[in-house]
Structure 1
């Protein structure tokens, strides 16, 4: 039994969309419009990255901190003159090793920092260098060792 209200097989075939103007073509964006949109998005993202990514210019304090951190990293990575892990571990080991290495440490830190910077290295057994003047900006870096912390302070005269 057939139902007279059911559409025939020829009527159920796909029919093209005729849009509002009656054409059979599909709507597409033009390629230059797509390229322009991608270009504008890329330029905006780069502009935002530069605008947000820039921090304030470094202050004297942050520059001094970076000098102290650099010097501490160099000294912590240097092999010692005697049997130990690093130069900083060697000077922190005991009062005797500190006294033995005091002058060598002073010369090495002065070489690492260069001219124009003064310093003091604080170990559990004493100081090497000059004390910083009160009130001036001082950069600090601390290196923990198994015998105590070694602190390097740097400032400009």
Structure 2
């Protein structure tokens, strides 16, 4: 038998090798990072919902039940309130967000870019649905 010719690794050498592999695995994990869930769409939806809620609950500037009712009532009212609606949304939303509000009589805000995450909220009004879209700059 040739069993006497076989060498064996000592236990401390095996433990050291496992320890090195473990340390390298941890270092690689921190270096490459762990993917985290992207909450961008949920946050944008929350911004859009909050902005729509503020507009739906605010009193109108001239007539109607709410500010959104006023801007969706007619094309003339929408044109009269367009600048005030844009200014109000600029104050309500964070500075790093852009927006677009679509009413039955027109839109306020910025053109929606292609390929970016967008949050959206729609509020039904007597004049038709009003949709608020929000995205990051």
TM-score by length of 1: 0.63
Distance in 2 (CA, whole Å) between partners of 1:128 and 1:100 is 12
2:45 aligns with: 65
Give CA deviations for 1:33-56 in whole Å, capped at 9, x if unaligned.
Answer: xxxxxxxxxxxxxxxxxxxxxxx9
**Shift of residue 114, structure 1, vs aligned partner:** 2.7
Aligned to 2:100: 120
1:93 to 73, 80, 87: 73
RMSD of equivalent CA atoms: 1.2
Aligned mates of 2:60, 2:37 — CA distance in 1: 37
Runs of 4+ in 1 over 4 A off after TM superposition: none
**Alignment partner, residue 132 of structure 1:** 112
For 1:8-157, what aligned pairs fall within 5 Å after superposition? 59-157=39-137
Larger relative contact order (Cα-Cα within 8 Å, sequence gap ≥ 6): 2
Please give the secondary structure, in 1, of the residue aligned with 2:42: helix
Larger Cα-atom Rg: 1
Give the superposition deviation at 1:132.
1.4
- Partner Cα separation in structure 1 for residue 38 and residue 115 of structure 2: 19
State the secondary structure of the residue aligned to 2:124: strand
d(CA) in 2 for partners of 1:106 and 1:94? 17
| Structure 2 portions without partners, runs of 5+ | 1-35
* Distance of 2:112 and 2:63 partners within structure 1: 32
Structure holding more helix per residue = 2
Distance in 1, matches of 2:87 and 2:94, equals: 10
Residue-by-residue CA offset, 1:89-141 (whole Å, 9 max, x unaligned): 10000000000000000000110103110000000000100111111000000
With structure 2 as the length reference, what TM-score do the two structures score?
0.72
- The SS at the match of 2:61 is coil
